[in-house]
Structure 1
Amino acid sequence: MSCSTPSSSECSIGSVEVDDFKCEICLGKGHGNHFGVNACRACAAFFRRMILGTGFRQKCRLTKNCKPKDGRWFCKKCRLDKCYRLGMTPDNIQHDRDAHLSSELFLENHNKRKLQVSVLPTTVEEFVGVPHSILYFKREKLPKKMSTYIDLSQLVKRTEKILKTEPLFTSDTFNMTALEKLTFGLREARKNQQQFPAIMKSMGKEENCFIWEQQLMTAANWIMYFDEFRALPFDQKFAMIKCMWHLWGRLERLAMTAEMRVNGYCGKREFVISHDALLDYDSIDYDPSWSTSYSKDELMYFLDAPTYHGEPLVESFININPSDTELVFLICNLCLRLTGKKLGGEIEEVTQKLQDVLADSLHKHYTDIEMPRYAHRLAKLLSIGNDWLNLTHKRKEKMEIAYILDVFHVKFSHPELFQYSV
């Protein structure tokens, strides 16, 4: 079979092998016109590989004038030179086809590749809007972004003062167990909780700072009702509260959200974010301009509000419906366990002892309410902690990507307060 034009794209795909057609390169059985020369599949594929690969580095192994033997070449350099002498040209190389496939198979695979590209997720380069060659430059090569600076020095001083002051106890609390005192502290912390909190219209820098302040102050005041914690050296107490305040604040608000939904004081898409305000996921006007140059839509991947606040756990709290005492044990036990793992060393030993104190108090509580076999109930409580850990793991993965992409540009006077806040 012969071809009327020298185009590789038209001839080599549609041609077939015949007995009387010879390859001008190896003198073996031919196939069609490839790159302007009558050749077999093997020689056409060889020329394509050399042009796209390492052809320019080939050297003759023998006499620099090698010839094929029984249709086979043993010298790549001489074989490539003959391709050039006969007029093969790389102009018609098709970078997206396999020379060993038929035209129908080629077109089918080509369409599959186009479909795969259309459904692939957005690449990092496309998401950021920066070319690949620029995205992976060293950080100092990229233009520096202006950062928002937040001074937390006064908040830290207030926290230090709380950790040095004994909370007010009533006469009824002196004979209480550790868990009972912490439960008393939780009720004290919730005294200002509004039954019908206002719906926040917007969420920006000021609102975030207010929430952080309220959570840190409330967590510090609450943990000081724990006698064994209060007896620790100040540096240990301060290190522990800096590690656990964010976790305590989120879990306590999740439990409050569940309680208020059951009582009909907030809707399914609302989150009780403070004592006097709740956040409606669908109507909140979030202003991220103070913390990032990314748009709201781009930030949805990193800060999807329901996921960020832990919305999936609200249903768990509703289903299990822990009492105040059980809630305190759950939150305090999880805070201590994670704080010990994160800080390690002597702090981990301290948290283990505090967990033992809480376990003894919980046993006494269940005994007092005549529930001697509470293993099943305890397993349900601890399942909430496991759900939280799974959610945190997913959120941490996204925040690590955010760090790599340098999404947020906020600097704190005391960054250690947010070191464990993922």
Structure 2
Amino acid sequence: MAESSPEYCPASTSSSDGESSPESSESHRKIENCQVCGQKAHGLHFGAITCRACAAFFRRVAAGANFVIKCRKGGGKCEIVSNGRSFCKKCRLKKCREIGMNIENFQYDRDPLSTSKQITPSMAMYLGRPEFIILCDPETARNSKITKIDLTGIIDKATKILMSDIKIPRSPGQNRLRKLSTASNIERFSVSSDDDFQEIKAIGLKETMSFWEYDILSVANWLTHFDEFQELEPESKLTFLRTIWSVWNRLEKLGRTTMFLKSKIAPSFDETPIFQADDIKVNLKDMKLDIEWLSNYSVEQIAYYIEGVGDWSAFQSIQPLLELEPTEVEINYMLAQISFSFAARELQGELSEIAENFLQLIADDLHNYYTRELSVSRYSDRVLKMMKVNNLVMKTMFDRKEKIAIARTFDIFHVEFSDPEMFKALY
């Protein structure tokens, strides 16, 4: 008897509210052959009628590191052979997705021959899909060589920026958001071309450390342009930096990528260019990733835990941003709003109250920007759209907490930081 596992679904379907759709079920029953390879179908798997072999293939590959899968012939039009063995993985996966297969669509009692049986819940079922669990030799994970990363130099540079006695004055009539805009200068990306950026095609620990330094120092510099922040005690400044730098940079990269794309013809995000720094871009689909410093596992094995490899959720906010077409002031409001909202949530006592006060100050400045500079009295629709993007980013942050918890449980990462609070949301 064929083994039953949760990735296959019974020959029925559900509407978005969870109720069975008779019309959809009837149409699925009429399909006798696999929609991918043409073999005899065995049921509804991941949202499409397929055979078990194609369902198993999709389960293995769909959540993996797709950028390392290459088309055999290079044109993305390989012939689909009915026995499944001669498939080009790239084209087979493409076919699966074209017919509507989705890794999130699975049901527990999947087999039409045993739909009355309840499958004993397993860790894989609770976590959503088997790829979340790395089946490994526990001794190998336990004896992993720890990579210790010293952040002292970066923290010292950031501290020097934060504690500088140099006060940056506001220009006449300039509010906080305008002043913050001079620090981020995101508008420059709207007039940039591809030739203005160096493409990084391989990323290892050296490149990663360089990106971290750039990101942390960028946030430190941005914060010095916020007058009330400059009045805080030194330790409070560092606490804010440790708390917000990762969420700030997450949104800032989306903002600069949006600024670059919005000036192009028919702008859209095709999961390719991310502008990492002032003059650096990363092609996510073609980059080579060296994670020996991070884990004993291969990129393919732990792709689900790596943003821009097996996890693309961080970039779902780009399309709403493109549709919003934000100004530089609006992006800086979004940066301040998401940063101080996150700080108000994560910090306690007086620091949380300070963050709440900062939120009120930037809200007043945004009102003045619309009413005085743009002479717009009704702007609630734009604020709602900005908050939609910020909420998507925040949701991604909190969803990643669950992934990080799983990774720690199974000792997937073997890295220690000299300042663990700085990276607790990442590894």
**In structure 2, what residue type is equivalent to 1:229?**
F
Whether 2:188 is the aligned partner of 1:185: answer no
- Report what 2:361 is aligned to: 357
Question: Which amino acid in the other structure matches residue 177 of structure 2?
Answer: L
Q: Do the aligned residues in 2 keep the contact of 1:202 with 1:285 (CA within 8 Å)?
A: yes
Deviation at 1:407, TM superposition (A): 0.7
Q: CA deviation at 1:188?
A: 8.4
Counterpart AA for 1:374: Y
Q: Larger % of helix: which?
A: 1
Instruction: Report deviation, 1:372.
Output: 1.1
Aligned to 1:406: 411
Amino acid at match of 2:314: G
Equivalent positions of 1:236-315 (< 5 A) are 236-264=236-264, 268=270, 269-305=272-308, 307=311, 310-315=314-319
Distance 2:404 2:188 in 1: 31
> Does 2:375 align with 1:377?
no
Which of the residues 345, 351, 365 maps onto 1:347?
351
User: How far, CA to CA, are the matches of 1:123 and 1:219 in structure 2?
Assistant: 38
Measured after TM superposition, the shift of residue 295 of structure 1 is 1.2
In 1, distance between residues paired with 2:377 and 2:192?
36
Q: How far off its partner does 1:336 sit?
A: 0.4
Contact in 2 for aligned 1:253/1:273 (Cα 8 Å): yes
What corresponds to 2:162 in structure 1? 163
Matched position secondary structure for 1:295: coil
1:108 to partner: Cα distance: 5.4
Identity %: 23
Which residue does 1:173 correspond to in 2? 171
Q: Which amino acid aligns with 2:370?
A: Y
- Aligned partners of 1:388, 1:280: CA distance in 2, in Å? 21
- State the Cα distance separating 1:360 from its structure 2 match: 1.1
Q: Report the 3-state secondary structure (helix = DSSP H, G, I; strand = E; otherwise coil) of the residue aligned with 1:373.
A: coil
Larger radius of gyration: 1
Q: Distance in 1 between matches of 2:351 and 2:405?
A: 26
How far does residue 111 in structure 1 lie from its aligned partner after superposition?
12
Tell me if the contact between 2:186 and 2:255 (Cα under 8 Å) persists in the aligned partners. Answer: no
Distance in 2 of aligned mates of 1:323 and 1:377: 11
In 2, the alpha carbon distance for the partners of 1:108 and 1:142 equals 39
Q: Deviations 1:120-166 (Å, cap 9, x if unpaired)?
A: 88658973234xxxx6xxx9x97432111111111111111111115
Matched-pair contact (CA < 8 Å) for 1:402–1:408: yes
Q: Which residue of 2 aligns with 1:203?
A: 203
Where does structure 2 lack aligned partners over 5 or more consecutive residues? 1-111
Quote the Cα distance in structure 2 between the aligned partners of 1:395 and 1:125: 13
For 2:118 and 2:345, locate their aligned partners in 1 and report how far apart those are by CA, in whole Å.
Answer: 47
Q: Relative contact order: is structure 1 or structure 2 higher (C-alpha 8 Å, sep ≥ 6)?
A: 2
* Stretches of structure 1 lacking an aligned partner (at least 5 in a row): 1-106
Relative to 1, partners in 2 of residues 1:195 and 1:359: Cα closer, same or farther, differing over 3 Å?
same
Letter paired with 1:289: E
Shift of 1:411: 1.1
Give the superposition deviation at 1:398: 1.5
Task: Give the count of matched residue pairs.
Answer: 304
CA distance in 2, matches of 1:418, 1:319: 32
Distance in 2 (CA, whole Å) between partners of 1:258 and 1:342 is 28
Secondary structure of the corresponding residue to residue 301 of structure 2: helix
2:384 is matched by which residue type in structure 1? A
**How far apart in 1 are the matches of 2:183 and 2:113?**
69
Residue number among 93, 109, 128 corresponding to 2:135 in the alignment? 128
C-alpha contact 2:149 2:416 (8 A) present in aligned 1: yes
Distance, in Å, in 2 between the alignment partners of 1:216 and 1:321 is 26
2-structure distance, mates of 1:149, 1:225? 33
Q: How many angstroms does 1:278 deviate by?
A: 1.4
C-alpha contact 1:334 1:385 (8 A) present in aligned 2: yes
Normalised by the size of structure 2, how large is the TM-score? Answer: 0.64
Normalization by structure 1: what TM-score? 0.65
- Superposition RMSD on alpha carbons, in Å? 3.3
Counterpart contact for 2:186–2:256, Cα < 8 Å: no
Could you report, residue by residue, the CA deviation over 1:101-126 in whole angstroms, capped at 9, with x for unpaired residues?
A: xxxxxx95499899x99x98865897
Q: Please report how far the alpha carbon of residue 309 of structure 1 lies from its aligned counterpart in structure 2 after TM superposition.
A: 7.5
What does 1:110-125 correspond to in 2, within 5 Å?
A: 123=130
Change (3 A) 1:142 1:411: closer
